[in-house]
Amino acid sequence: MKKFLLAYLLIPLLLIGCSSEKPSLGFTYDEYKARINDALKQMGNKTTLKIINEDVTDDGKKVIALSNNIMIFLVLNEDKIVTQANLAANDTAYLTEMDNFKFAFLLLIGTVDDSLSFGERNKVL
């Protein structure tokens, strides 16, 4: 009976985990870029970050450079909807742009999930 109960509980989890659907963040690349620009405008002169470059990697990820050291990589599905957003920085970013690095992380969290308050975003750090 215990084996049956365990199998009964695990099978739905396996089916969910094996689903071919990838989660979506619910907005296009252009909408995400607009969210970044809006957040940067709201911060005003509190940060030197701005979109300085946009590119596409060899594996199809979109890259938004916020400085020479800090970038956001976006994975899009076949419908051009953002499914994943990752913050990347080179090895000197944390030492030379610590405030910008922290702000970029908060920016990433805030642009992906705007339901979190500023205080809740800071708890993630």
CATH number of the domain to which 53 belongs? 3.30.310
pLDDT at 118 (0 to 100):
54
Q: Looking at the domain assignment, is residue 2 inside a domain?
A: no
pLDDT the model gives residue 13: 41
**Under DSSP, is residue 71 helix (H, G, I), strand (E, B) or coil?**
strand
Per the structure block, which two tokens stand in for 33? 């870029």
| Diameter of the chain measured on Cα atoms | 65
The structural domain count of the chain equals: 1
Structural domain span for residue 57: 23-124
pLDDT by 10-residue block (mean), the chain, 125 residues = 39 42 73 89 87 93 92 90 87 83 80 60 50
Question: Residue 62: inside a domain, yes or no?
Answer: yes
- Write down the pLDDT at residue 122: 52
Q: In what order do the strands lie in the sheet with 62-65?
A: 53-56, 62-65, 70-76, 82-89
